[in-house]
Amino acid sequence: MRPSKVGKGIRAAATAALMLAAVAAFGGQETVTRTFSAEAGGSLVVDIDMGRIEVVSGPGSEVRIDAEFRKEGWSDSRIHEFIDDFGLEFSQSGGVVTVRSDYGQENGKSWFSGNRRPNVRFRIQVPAVFNATLRTSGGSVSVGDLQGRVDAKTSGGGLEFGSIRGTVNGRTSGGSVTVGDCGGDVDVQTSGGGIRVGQTEGNVRVRTSGGSITLESVSGDVTAKTSGGSIHAVLTRNPTADCLFETSGGGITVTAPADLKADIDASTSGGRVSTGFPVTVTGEMDPHRLSARINGGGPRMILRTSGGGIRLERAP
């Protein structure tokens, strides 16, 4: 199917058989709506120049997209002019529904600077079993409960994921990251905020340059790195590969199963190392370092910090 463009003819009715169009204008606000038929297991692709993206799951087999544009003090014609330049395109190919924008910078207008920036939000409902690939250069991204793969990237906002029965991959340059329950691997990174991950059945890889890391319940292997906060992690199973917990700006607390089998390599220059596991140390005790084998040993568990203590706790 050829893409459906929103431009100079925004007031005309869409003729594509698989979608319905509606435009509702209220002074400084306008909403562009598209609806596609889509079976479970399909994919949503969103690639926009700016705007918040919100994805939720719903009953039935349709994808509904509401693109909202708001700016106090603007007239309807002014909103229409911005949407024309924003260059929205909607399309569907097989089970893939795509939303794109191509901001017409060649017109010389600087809509995206200073007080000229309107509020743009995409609210999208998809079937409960669906995959999502989401990109925005200027806004946060949130995904509710979903059974499928989620890949999200933004240059200017936080990332929030609900209960995802699949893998989660997220990147942001300017916000915090929150992941609820996840049935697969989690790989998220931010340059400007904390990270919190709930109950996760897969492996976890998290990195931040500006916040703390909290891993509430992890069944897989872990790599957790931050330059600006503490690390708190609860492991519910024995790791199958080496794990790393590293921070330059806080303490580290890791809670592991009582039957943990691991080789511990922990050191800090800003606090003490302590553990609730029975260990045997050869040579002189060093309060800032611990190198020990627990329950016969296993994968390496590396813990490093320059700004706090390290605590390895045994779960009850």
Query: What is the extent of the structural domain holding 238?
Result: 158-316
Calpha distance 265→290 (Å, rounded): 6
In a domain, 225, yes or no: yes
The rounded mean pLDDT for the chain is 88
Judgement on whether residues 116 and 200 belong to the same structural domain of the protein? no
| Burial of 170 (C-beta count, 10 Å sphere; 0-12/13-18/19+) | buried
In a domain, 146, yes or no: no
Judgement on whether residues 166 and 311 belong to the same structural domain of the protein? yes
Domain count, the chain: 2
Backbone angles phi, psi at 270, to 5 degrees: -130, 25
pLDDT the model gives residue 76: 83
Judgement on whether residues 130 and 163 belong to the same structural domain of the protein? no
Judgement on whether residues 94 and 223 belong to the same structural domain of the protein? no
pLDDT tens digits along 72-105: 888 888 888 888 888 899 999 999 999 999 875 5
Name the nearest CA neighbour of 196 among 166, 233, 149, 171: 233
Last residue in a domain, options 68, 103, 137: 137
* Residues 80/30, Cβ–Cβ less than 8 Å: yes
In a domain, 172, yes or no: yes
pLDDT tens digits along 184-235: 999 999 988 999 999 999 999 999 988 999 999 999 999 999 998 999 999 9
Statement: residue 29 has pLDDT above 60? yes
Calpha distance 21→66 (Å, rounded): 10
Judgement on whether residues 16 and 108 belong to the same structural domain of the protein? yes
Judgement on whether residues 20 and 96 belong to the same structural domain of the protein? yes
In a domain, 248, yes or no: yes
How does residue 108 score in pLDDT terms, banded at 50, 70 and 90? very low
| C-alpha 76 chain-centroid distance | 34
Judgement on whether residues 185 and 129 belong to the same structural domain of the protein? no
Judgement on whether residues 51 and 194 belong to the same structural domain of the protein? no
